[in-house]
Structures are given as structure tokens and as C-alpha cells.
Amino acid sequence: MSENTFYVTTPIYYVNDIPHIGHVYTTVAADVISRYMRMSGRKVMFLTGTDEHGQKVEQAARDRGKTPQEHCDEMVVRFKDLWRRFNISNDDFIRTTEERHIKVVQHFLQKLFDSGDIFKSSYSGWYCVPDERFWTEKDLDDGHCPDCGREVVQLEESNYFFKMSKYQDWLIKHIEDNANFIRPETRRNEMLGFLRNPLEDLCISRPKSRLNWGVEIPFDTDYVTYVWFDALINYVTSPGYTTDDERFAAFWPNCTHLIGKDILTTHTIYWPTMLKGEGLAPPARVFAHGWWTIEGHKMSKSVGNVVEPNMLLDKYGADAIRYFLLREVPFGLDGDFSHSALVGRINSDLANDIGNLLQRSLGMLEKYRDGVIPPAPDDSEMGDLSMEFVKASHKAVNELDEHMAVLSFDRALKAVWEFIGAANKYIDSAAPWTLAKEGKEAKLDSVMYTLFEAIRQVAVMINPFMPETGQKMFRQLGITQKKELHTFTSLEIWGGLPGGTKTFRGPALFPRIEEVQEVDVKEDKKDEGGRMKEEPQKTANVIGIEDFAKVELVTGKVLEAEAVPKSKKLIRMIVDTGEKRQIVAGIAEYYEPDDLVGRTIAVVGNLAPAKLMGVESNGMLLAAHDDNGLALVTFDKEVGVGVRIK
């Protein structure tokens, strides 16, 4: 087994499905771990694709007046286009209708047949047409398919069977001896429980008289292959089983299948026994993640609450969705998707935390050093505060690596965001604006370099999760072409960012989203006599001059300003409005305290006092806010303090 290779797969998605958030979840997770492994120096193979055979495809094509192949060729585009928009970096996209796959399936079947693991027998049982699957009487749920809940039909026909029962004892031992084979632990226990009952042999064919659209059985051309048996084999087709022995030997032993928990049985019971019969080892790991509900409800086409990924992309962008899906819930548990939770993550984690860190840092560097990164300081020049901050970086990198090894994406991101929080705190504690004011140039250089090396490390750490954002940060740091600084190996030693690099201050990474909540009251619009109620007239939100006169607007000059401890947003100011007053405002995302001193601003002077994070505020600033950020209301010429604004 090569330690330098990594092979990851998604399920191959059913070509008749409309891509939904569940498909996106699995594929984004596979993409993140692939990017992480590549950036760590490993050779990666990332496979996704589509499952295109079976009765439902044949029927759908017939309904559309198309051949099954024409139908598949049109439907597959939906998945390929979506993965392009989500920046999915798959190395291969396999379709089960491709000749390369059909040849491997037939080889697989013939080998099992020749070894005696496939036999023909008559079968009488219950068949679920939508799932294309046989069930025994004991499997049924009140006479219905235990998977989809729909009616089943009784069917009797001759078919070919794989001797799955032959490998039950081997499979139990393999699961017990390999703790990481099925993850998470709850799914492993679930499958061991399933195996306490005898395994039945698996029906692997369908007669052509009933279904023609499938891989033809090589030893009996009157039959095609059961769609699930055909589909699973894609995982060995792509890395080169029967076609490229060297490549297959390099990648297959390090294979991780990412799947939804609904297909756990096929991937951890059917598939490993099929491989055992073929003389192949099982995959190294099968990780079954949970399901997504929508606003607390199960996704359902009939209910109409299926989240359409393309609409999400149009509204929020790929990186925000990628971040939300992997940060919101532990990978393996069920999660709930809601627009309010997504917007909350965007505004808090992305706009406030990482976006604010980059913007305020670039602003200070532009102001104090014309946007050029100073030389790296010696350890002796850094001081205790900076040295402690460097330790926080090493901690974040180590924790990220530990969590990614077990696919704990949410914890990996949490470790990175703790470091982002430490970087914002470092700015407040080091106070570059004070160093600049006091003329401590060498100390200021040391702080600014330390800050920007930290930002580079953050850009590397988030790049697998949010590749567009990572690349934007590399561009703004001026290191787009320095690919050696984009790798995880570059984080092993502090100080990779070269001094003298020119930065570029661009737009905010993630502008805040201001969403208006719509409330549907669903009230009855008829009166007691059955007549339509008269709709109340909507009036503009207008006030009289007497109302406006109650608000005392005055000019004020900022005399002092400082960040409020333990707050990311608040700045405390002493403002002269004819009298000195303390005002607290949530503008730290857009202004440094030092930038405020000396400004003449507009103030609401007769607002009742309020406490913000325990600090009393006696007044309110006026400001405007749009997608470009926040701007204070100021004046186009000098005015005195305490002047009434009319």
C-alpha cells in the first residue's frame, strides 16, 4: 500500500434524479478531502459519475420519445454543469453506459461465474419496480417496500444469483478486525447487527423480456445485469482494474467511499462480498454521512421543499454554501438546512471574522507601509505577544491535520476559525495604530509581518474548503504565482511569506447579507357573511415636522477612540458635541479606532443612554450601509462642534 496515494469516490448519482443538496453535500466533501490531500503532497484520484442503467431510465426515455442512451446523454449534463459551478476537482467522471465500464462488469461477472459463485435458479418473491429490487415476505413493511414505502408486486422468474451468503463469516471478521472500514461507529454497529441474521444470496440479473437496458450477462445473452451490481463495479473500473495494473495497485488500497447512510447496506454488505469473490480487497474505508432536512422537514418533491442547488449558487455563491454544509453539522450526523442559518454563517463567520481580518489588515498595511509587506523579523524582534500568536498557528495546523484524517470537517474548520479569532485579537492587542503614532517603526514592521504571515496560513488552510476564497486571498497577498506558498508543507515552518511583497486591496470577500423576513399570516380574507374583507390601505412611513423636531442632531468631533475589549464590533469614543460624551458604536468592521480621531461626525444628541457590552453610550452616530460597506455621515467643509443639524 502506497502512503503517497489517496483515492476517494462519491456514489454515482442516478441519472434520472434532479441534483439536490444531498448530492452536493457528498460531492463537496469528496472535493475538500481531495484538495487537502493534493495540497499535502499526495497523489489523488477523485471519482464521481452517474448510474445510467435500469428499468426507470428505460421507462423515462420511452415516455420522452428518446432512446435510453439519448435520454442519459441529456440528463448527465445537469450533474456535470453543477459540479463545474461548485468548483469540484474530480479527476474522473464515469458513466455506467461507457464501454470501458461495460467491459469490466462483464469480466467481473465471468470470473465469478467461472469460480462457481454465480448460479441460476428460479425465484419467487416481491419486487419493487421503482427500486428495481426483490424483497422477501419478512422484509416487507405492511406489504410495502421497506425502502421507499411503495407497493410491491409478486414476481416469479428464473435469474442468476451471487453466492453472497458464502462470505458472511468472512465479512463479519473483516468488519470486527478493521475498525475504520465502516465509519462512523454507529454505522459499523448497525451493519454488525444486520449480519446477526443469515445473509441471502443476491439476485444479480434481469431477463431481457422484462428489461433490456443494462449490461448484458456475458454467459447468457438473454439477461442483463442488476443495476446495483453493475453500478458498484464503477469504483474499480476507473482506477484501472483489468486495464492498468500499476495504477490500480497504487490507488485501490487507499480507497475511501463517501456515501449517504441510505445506501450503507449495498456498500458494506453487497460490495465487499462481491470483491472477495473476485479476489480483490475491500475499500479501506466506507464513510456514511447523514441526511439533510429542510427547515426541520424531510426533503420531498411532493411537498416542494427540495433545495435547488443552482438557485443557492446564484444567491450565495459556491464557497459560502461549501463552508456552511461542512461547518454546520458533524460529518456523519443528520443536519438541517435553512436559509437563516446559512445567512447567519455568512454574516458571522465569513463577513465578520475572515472578511474583516483581511480588510482591516490590508487597510493598515496600505496606510503604514504603502501596501508592502515588511521583512520577516528575527525571533528576538517579535516579543512575547507575537511568539504566543505563532504557537496558535502551529496548534491550528496540527488540529486541522488531525481532524481531516478522520473526516471531521466541522472540527477542522472550527480549529481554523479559532486561529482567525486569535488573529483579530492579536491586532487589538498589538495595536499597530499606536505603534505608528509613537514612531516604533521596527516594532510595527514586526507586527505587520506576523499578521500577514498568519493571513497567508489562513488562506492555505481554508483553500480546500473554499477554493475561490483561498485564491482571492493569495491574489490580495500578492503570492498568486508563488505556488510553493499555497501548500500545507509550507506551514510546517513559520515565515514563508517573503518581505517586500506588494499586496492588493480588493473588495470584501463576503459582503454582509441583509435579508428581509417575509411573514405569511395566512388569515381568512372573508368576513362572516362570506364577502371578501376590505384590505387595509397601506400608507408610507411618514412623519410630521413636529416628529422630526424631536430628534436633536448635532455635529461632534471624535477626541479619543479605542476597541471595546472582548467585542469584534464595538468602538468606544469620546466625542465633543459642545460637551464631552462617551459614545459606543458597532463600526469596528469598517474603521480602525485611530482612523476616527479628529473626524467631525453627525450625532443624535438626545438619545436615552444605553449600555453595550457593559459600556455606557450617550448618543448615536449616523452612517449609511450598502454592499460596499459602512460610511459615516461627515461634512464637506469644516464646521464647529455642537452645531445643530437641520
How far is residue 425 from each of residues 240, 364, 418, 565, measured CA to CA in Å? 51, 15, 10, 9
Residue that wins the pLDDT comparison between 367 and 609: 367
Q: How far is CA 129 from the centre of its chain?
A: 34
The pLDDT, as a whole number, for residue 400 is: 97
Cβ neighbours around 495 below 10 Å, total:
13
338-491 CATH: 1.10.730.10
pLDDT tens digits for range 74-104:
999 999 999 999 999 999 999 999 999 999 9
Report yes or no: 149 and 302 within 8 Å, Cβ to Cβ: no
Distance between CA 351 and CA 26 in Å, rounded?
26
* pLDDT value, residue 206: 93
Tell me what percent of the residues of the chain surpass a pLDDT of 90. Answer: 67
* SS3 (DSSP) at 56: helix
Same fold, 5-289 and 545-632: no
List 563's β-bridge partners, or say none. 571
β-partners of residue 620 are: 604
363 by Cβ neighbours in 10 Å (0-12 / 13-18 / 19+) ranks as middle
| Helix pair 409-430, 379-405: axis angle to 10 deg | 160
pTM of the model: 0.78
Whole-angstrom CA distances from 468 to 231, 509, 534 are: 33, 10, 52
What architecture is the 545-632 domain classified under in CATH? Beta Barrel (2.40)
The whole-number pLDDT of residue 302 equals: 53
Tell me the residue type at 215: V
Give pLDDT tens digits for 599-638: 898 988 888 888 787 788 888 888 887 545 678 888 767 7
Nearest to 4 by CA among 251, 218, 192: 251
Are residues 50 and 76 in contact, defined by beta-carbon separation less than 8 angstroms? yes
CA distances to 224, 346, 349, 612 from 352, rounded to whole Å, are 57, 8, 6, 18
| Choices 3.10.310.30, 3.40.50.11810, 3.40.50.620, 3.40.50.150: CATH for 5-289 | 3.40.50.620
Is pLDDT at 296 greater than 80 in this prediction? no
Question: In the chain, where are the structural domains located?
Answer: 5-289, 338-491, 545-632
Lowest mean pLDDT among 51-65, 241-255, 536-550: 536-550
Rounded distance between C-alpha atoms, residue 549 and residue 226, angstroms = 80
pLDDT tens readout for residues 387-396: 999 999 999 9
Q: Is the pLDDT of residue 381 over 80?
A: no
Please report which confidence band the pLDDT of residue 529 belongs to, taking 50, 70 and 90 as the band edges. very low
Residues 619, 607 contacting (CB under 8 angstroms): yes
Higher pLDDT residue, 367 or 595?
367
pLDDT for the residue 9? 98
| DSSP bridge pairs for 611 | 616
Residue 223 pLDDT grade (very low, low, confident, very high; cuts 50, 70, 90) = very high
Q: Are 452 and 373 in contact (CB under 8 A)?
A: yes
CA–CA distance from 510 to each of 86, 88, 329, 452, 548 (Å)?
Answer: 17, 21, 21, 19, 36
Q: How far apart are CA 617 and CA 243, in angstroms?
A: 74
Cell of 11: 456514489
| Structure confidence at residue 595 (pLDDT) | 77
Q: How does residue 530 score in pLDDT terms, banded at 50, 70 and 90?
A: very low
Report the helix count and the strand count for the chain, using DSSP H and E.
22, 24
Give the pLDDT of residue 133.
74
Is residue 50 within 8 A of residue 68, CB to CB? The reply is no
Average pLDDT over residues 147-176: 91
Task: List alpha helices for 290-408, DSSP H.
Answer: 309-316, 318-328, 339-345, 356-369, 379-405
- Mean of pLDDT values over 17-42: 95
Q: Which residue has the higher pLDDT, 624 or 108?
A: 108
Angle between helices 99-114 and 271-278 (to 10 degrees): 70
pLDDT at position 531 is 34
User: Would you say 142 and 182 are in contact if contact means Cβ atoms under 8 Å apart?
Assistant: no
pLDDT at 264: 96
Q: Which of 565, 561, 555 is nearest to 613 (CA)?
A: 565
pLDDT of residue 592: 83
Residue 467, pLDDT > 90, answer yes
What does the pLDDT look like over 468-520, one tens digit per residue? 999 999 999 999 999 999 999 999 989 999 999 999 988 889 998 875 443 33
| Average pLDDT of the residues in 287-295 | 89
Nearest 5 degrees, angle CA 410-CA 84-CA 355?
45
pLDDT digit string, tens, across residues 127-156? 887 777 777 777 788 888 887 778 888 888
SS3 61: helix
314: pLDDT confidence band, cut at 50, 70 and 90? very high
Give CA–CA dist 259/30, Å, rounded. 10
Q: Name, in order, each residue with C-beta under 8 angstroms of 567's C-beta and a sequence gap of 6 or more.
A: 588, 613
What are the φ/ψ torsions at residue 600 (nearest 5 degrees)?
Answer: -100, 125
Residue 526 pLDDT level (bands cut at 50, 70, 90): very low
